[in-house]
Structure 1
Amino acid sequence: MTPQGLPDDRRAAGPLAGLKVLELGQLIAGPFAGKTLGDFGADVIKIEPPASGQQPGGDPLRQWRMLHEGTSVWWQVQSRNKRSVVLDLRTPEGREAVRTLIDDADVLIENFKPGTLEKWGLGPDELLRTNPGLVMLRISGYGQDGPYRDLPGFAVVAEAMGGLRHLMGEPGRVPVRAGVSLGDTLAALHGVIGVLLALQARSQSVSPEAPRGRGQVVDVALYEAVFNCMESLLPEYSAFGAVREPAGSALPGIAPSNAYRCADGQVVIGGNGDSIYKRLMSAIGRDDLGQDPALASNAGRAAQVDRIDAAITAWTVARNVDDVVSTLQAVSVPVGRIYTVRDIAADPHFQARGMIQRIVTATGLALDVPGVVPRLSETPGGLFRPAPALGEHTQEVLGRK
């Protein structure tokens, strides 16, 4: 993708072409939702604050992590397919300009602290009165109501409250975190699901009184998005009083599924299917374990997981990663290297699937960025527009009004 983006007809073919999205959020959760909609053809207009005092202006993500010529390379991913408009929402003039843009918008995305939009006169009561078809995606730490509503919430707290952080790491050690903000991304994806559901509901509510259909508010809490992915955590506690504890690289109650040391690194092996387990044991020369009736089902294997893991480790530590992977792949046992980004960038499967795309930024930097997920066979998404400079489209957007 060049700084000029791809031809307009590619964008027009996207499944969300014609959808006008106004993004008021900053940093990760709200903007990731906007990026996802933009990847599939929506016209995403990002509202950014102007410079003020020592503050450079714009979404703070512009200055996060590694910069090239003053701008984060992360920005090139998070804000692709968007237009940037500078408005100061703290001023009456800025709020009035936003209201004008909202009047014919399909979707509004915001991830401010609850009550902020209401303070500015931009709450759902006001906006849905002037634009009854508007879908408002509101992402916050704890949701728009409840006793914790007004507390500040970041992904790090949401991951802890949602139950994820307690399970991460080794037993008896301080819980660790993933090196990315999972809580934000999970909330963003739940938000996109909510937006698409609300748009579907809107299309089904078209009437003479509501020619565009009825909009609604999509309320996503970061901790709830994390909690929604916690599988059997709550029902096991409810039924048995079981409090799941961290288990390092293993998956408790499912065996064998773990990370294993090799002579020159580590691999992950998922041998927990009944027939897969037998093939795995045969491949490592332990048919005695593979044919043991007590280990024929997952329940039996889970009860003797230490014994099984010890047998697998005894085999893997004597071999290098390539040998382990090739041997197990040959007998259809799920196995994989533990990739660094260097491995990802060099992997032919990522390339073949279009998961690594080369762009050229406005400053001339050739940059590899993640491709579009999910893949649609007939109306695929794409990288239509490079991430904008601050306020690049202010006149273009506001000049139409």
Structure 2
Amino acid sequence: MAEEPAEGPLRGVRVVEIGQDIAVPYAGRLLRLLGAEVHKVEPPAGDHLRRRAPNGTSAGTGGLFRYLNAGKSSLTVDTAGPDGYALVAALCADADVVLVDEGLGAVAGLDAAVAERTGTVVRLVDFAADGPYGQWQASDLVLQAAAGWVSPRGRADGDPVPVGGRLGEYAAGTYVAVAGLTGWRSQADGPPVRALVDRMSAIFNTVAFDMLRRETLVELGYTQTRYTAYIPGPMPCADGMVAVNCLTGQHWHDLCTLLGVPEYADRYVEMRYDRGDMAAFYAAVRPWFAELTVAETVELCQAFRVPAAPITTGATAPQLPPFRERGFFVAAPDGGLHPGPPFRLRDVPAGALGAAPTLRQRHADA
């Protein structure tokens, strides 16, 4: 059996989550952290993030699945069979909030079951229904491109690249959770709540990007419209990588002084916008970085008030002082570490979620 819902402001609230992959399951996780009881509806073979077991079934679970679905119940539905459909319809009818992914993460065949709901329903689609692409479905890469995230990252001769880490899916999931929470709060004194969240708008509104900044500068009368480079960017050190980003001419001047290359100190605009002779610059400064550890490099750069930070991995991120001292990474119920709650409430702290469900594992009262 899955553990009882965590203590929290949503204790006693029943949520039905119909979707795979990241976005809607992440929304369910956020509500679960607030104490809601979350029932996850999966296709017969299970959410495709489940790691396949040796016998070819989806009984195993991968690390990402375990993180997104900790403490939930699992229900699989064969929409070709009447029993499974009726079970979902009954579950939705008794739920306070229903979250549905209608994009590429959809669990098909349940539209009518969801339509019978009288409470809050939040639907996630790829593009706004009233826009020119309202009926389209798209991959994460296409949605990032539509929202303006894909760019050469400051390299005039480089190919456009997306933002990594499926950040857009987590952004969309956050909007879905907020819509669900808002609907639940308002539905007691009003009509049934129907909310529509689209991934493209969620991505567009989450992260500032070069295209919008450049267009805004042009509207303000600036003529500089070239993409800028993040200089000097990632640099290899003795024990890892460090990211250094000179945001101002003063940063660049101070960095060149620190690195012992004063001949570049007054060439900030040239190096950032036109790229200058970056090959020669990197050849001159790489030995300096290579002799120092990441920690030593960050300490020196910050002493000179130059923005610098370690480039981490899954193994090293939990050891960063800000994460370690705040206790951000917590022990996962089934081993290892995962990020803790992205919020803290003074009076009702998020409770332990328990392990992710095996396929068709249910709460006792479900």
**Are 1:150 and 2:135 counterparts?**
yes
1:397 is displaced (CA, Å) by: 4.1
Distance 1:312-1:329 versus aligned 2 partners, 3 A rule: farther
**Are 1:30 and 2:24 counterparts?**
yes
Matched to 1:138, the amino acid is: R
Normalised to the residue count of structure 2, the TM-score between the two structures is: 0.78
1:284 is displaced (CA, Å) by: 4.5
Equivalent residue number for residue 151 of structure 2: 166
Query: 2-side partners of 1:25 and 1:31: how far apart?
Result: 7
Query: 1-side partners of 2:304 and 2:213: how far apart?
Result: 36
**Are 1:107 and 2:97 counterparts?**
yes
1:217 is displaced (CA, Å) by: 2.4
Aligned pair partner of 2:42 in 48, 52, 58: 48
Query: Do 2:259 and 2:288's aligned partners in 1 also have CA atoms closer than 8 Å?
Result: no
Deviations along 1:161-182, one digit per CA (max 9) or x if unpaired, are 2221234484333333444322
**Are 1:39 and 2:30 counterparts?**
no
Distance 1:71-1:196 versus aligned 2 partners, 3 A rule: closer
* Percent of aligned positions that are identical: 26
Distance 1:309-1:19 versus aligned 2 partners, 3 A rule: farther
Aligned pair partner of 1:220 in 185, 194, 197: 197
Query: Do 2:246 and 2:252's aligned partners in 1 also have CA atoms closer than 8 Å?
Result: yes
Number of equivalences: 356
Equivalent residue number for residue 59 of structure 1: 47
Query: Do 2:75 and 2:360's aligned partners in 1 also have CA atoms closer than 8 Å?
Result: yes
Matched to 2:341, the amino acid is: V
Distance 1:235-1:146 versus aligned 2 partners, 3 A rule: same
**Structure 2 counterpart SS, 1:318:** helix
| Matched ranges for 1:385-396 at <5 A | 385-393=354-362, 396=364
Query: 2-side partners of 1:147 and 1:269: how far apart?
Result: 41
| Matched ranges for 1:347-362 at <5 A | 347-361=320-334
**Are 1:122 and 2:113 counterparts?**
yes
Query: Do 1:155 and 1:222's aligned partners in 2 also have CA atoms closer than 8 Å?
Result: no
**Are 1:368 and 2:311 counterparts?**
no
Query: Do 2:218 and 2:225's aligned partners in 1 also have CA atoms closer than 8 Å?
Result: no
1:38 is displaced (CA, Å) by: 1.2
Matched to 1:237, the amino acid is: E
Aligned pair partner of 1:96 in 86, 106, 123: 86
Matched to 1:73, the amino acid is: G
| Matched ranges for 1:249-268 at <5 A | 250-251=229-230, 258-262=233-237, 266-268=241-243
Query: 2-side partners of 1:169 and 1:231: how far apart?
Result: 12
Query: 2-side partners of 1:111 and 1:276: how far apart?
Result: 45
**Structure 1 counterpart SS, 2:361:** coil
Deviations along 1:298-350, one digit per CA (max 9) or x if unpaired, are x8996788589987984564233423222123345431121122222444543
**Are 1:237 and 2:232 counterparts?**
no
Stretch of structure 1 that moved more, 79-88 or 347-356:
347-356
**Structure 1 counterpart SS, 2:49:** helix
1:271 is displaced (CA, Å) by: 4.0
Equivalent residue number for residue 288 of structure 2: 318
Query: 2-side partners of 1:82 and 1:62: how far apart?
Result: 14
Distance 1:286-1:173 versus aligned 2 partners, 3 A rule: closer
Residue segments in structure 1 that go unaligned for 5+ positions in a row: 51-56, 207-212
Equivalent residue number for residue 68 of structure 2: 78
Matched to 1:60, the amino acid is: H
**Are 1:15 and 2:9 counterparts?**
yes
Deviations along 1:28-59, one digit per CA (max 9) or x if unpaired, are 21111111221221111111233xxxxxx211
Deviations along 1:53-72, one digit per CA (max 9) or x if unpaired, are xxxx2111113799998332
Query: 2-side partners of 1:262 and 1:18: how far apart?
Result: 51
Equivalent residue number for residue 54 of structure 1: none
Distance 1:33-1:331 versus aligned 2 partners, 3 A rule: same
Matched to 1:76, the amino acid is: R
Aligned pair partner of 1:335 in 308, 313, 317: 308
Matched to 2:46, the amino acid is: G
Matched to 1:166, the amino acid is: S
